[in-house]
């Protein structure tokens, strides 16, 4: 499959409220849990023993070091250790390295087994309340495999925030001069709505908007957001909506389509805040009616974009 076919497939899946997952294990034993990652955030799986690991002095304990793969230096993160079930040195020798791409940041995750690829509808992905009990939850949702086994989708943004915080959004960057920005009255007096399943992304958005004194409400997935909007008697209080693409229950693409199809919400600016930053995802979001697209590592750009879009739509 060519790169463009790869991107097209990812976009088509999300458009249909579907996701393709690489299922893997990060610990030894038949009873060890299954985890998953969106296939389109992965590049390849390689055998760890075939790649020399260069250690980094005084680095984070979860950062094992770096390897060089096709001329690119790639940091290797010890996923079993992050998940609190470290593996032995002997097991590391037989382990695999899952090479991933997060917003253009290439990292390797140590895993014990790449199981297989599955396709799921987002309605089959669930986010129990237990995953949201603290701000540093490592699991965002789960699904069932054919044999009934639970497969958990990890919050890889939380992993990056823990190990390579420089790769994440700078929450202080945008609001530092917010006092000099004219906030539209509709935004100041309304409620900005956000659909986002990653706890670390939620935390960043909350910090940015709180510092700017913007009233907002965050929902753990697109379905909860849509249920809230549907039940809202006066939808004019919504100045803008921010949505992720990948979410349990309902994808961001479905959220955009439903909102833009309804006359009551069609004129509300919608901004996609996603780690799936390929051009095809942006084009698909635009074709469904999204008004803006922001890379998740640059979430500090959301507020200025909201203000710009409100002014363009005459909502300021």
pTM above 0.95, yes or no: no
**What architecture (CATH level 2) is domain 175-312?**
3-Layer(aba) Sandwich (3.40)
Give the closest residue to 221 by CA, choosing from 124, 312, 288, 287. Answer: 124
**Whole-angstrom distance, CA of residue 316 vs CA of residue 295:** 24
pLDDT tens digits, residue range 153-193?
Answer: 998 888 888 888 776 665 555 445 555 567 888 998 999 99
Q: State the Cα torsion 128-130-134-139 to the nearest 10°.
A: -60
Q: What is the DSSP string of 141-185?
A: EEEE-TTS-EEEEE-HHHHHHHH-GGGS--TTTTGGGGGGS---H
Check: CB of residue 40 under 8 Å from CB of residue 274. Answer: no
Report the candidate in 90, 107, 103 with the shortest Cα–Cα distance to residue 28: 90
Fold agreement (3-167, 175-312) = no
Q: Where are the domains of the chain?
A: 3-167, 175-312
pLDDT band at 122 (very low <50, low <70, confident <90, very high): confident
The CATH H-level (homologous superfamily) assignment of domain 3-167 is CheA-289, Domain 4 (2.40.50.180)
| pLDDT classification of 286: cutoffs 50, 70, 90 | confident
Does the structure show a pLDDT above 90 at 229? Answer: yes
13 SS3 class: helix
**Which pLDDT belongs to residue 7?**
42
């Amino acid at each position: 499959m060519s790169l463009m076919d790869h991107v097209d497939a990812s976009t088509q899946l999300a458009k249909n409220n579907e996701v393709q997952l690489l299922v893997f294990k990060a610990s030894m034993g038949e009873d060890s849990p299954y985890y998953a990652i969106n296939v389109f955030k992965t590049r390849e799986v390689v055998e760890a023993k075939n790649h020399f690991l260069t250690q980094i002095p005084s680095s984070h304990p979860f950062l094992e070091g770096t390897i060089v793969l096709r001329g690119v230096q790639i940091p290797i993160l010890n996923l079993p250790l992050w998940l609190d079930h470290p593996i032995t040195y002997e097991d590391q020798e037989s382990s695999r390295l899952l090479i991933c791409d997060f917003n253009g940041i290439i990292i390797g995750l140590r895993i014990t087994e790449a199981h297989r690829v599955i396709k799921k509808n987002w309605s089959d992905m669930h986010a129990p309340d237990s995953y949201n009990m603290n701000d540093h939850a490592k699991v965002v949702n789960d699904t069932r495999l054919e044999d009934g086994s639970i497969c958990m989708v990890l919050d890889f943004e939380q992993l990056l925030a823990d190990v390579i915080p420089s790769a994440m959004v700078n929450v202080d960057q945008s609001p530092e001069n917010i006092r000099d920005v004219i906030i539209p009255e509709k935004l100041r007096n309304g409620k900005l709505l956000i659909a986002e399943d990653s706890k670390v992304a939620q935390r960043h958005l909350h910090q940015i908007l709180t510092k700017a004194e913007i009233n907002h409400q965050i929902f753990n997935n697109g379905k909860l957001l849509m249920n809230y909007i549907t039940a809202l008697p006066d939808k004019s209080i919504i100045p803008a909506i921010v949505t992720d693409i990948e979410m349990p229950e309902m994808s961001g693409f479905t959220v955009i389509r439903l909102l833009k199809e309804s006359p009551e919400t069609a004129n509300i600016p919608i901004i996609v805040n996603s780690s799936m930053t390929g051009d095809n995802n942006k084009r698909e979001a635009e074709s469904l009616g999204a008004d803006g697209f922001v890379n998740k590592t640059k979430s500090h750009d959301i507020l200025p974009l909201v203000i710009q879009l409100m002014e363009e739509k005459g909502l300021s």
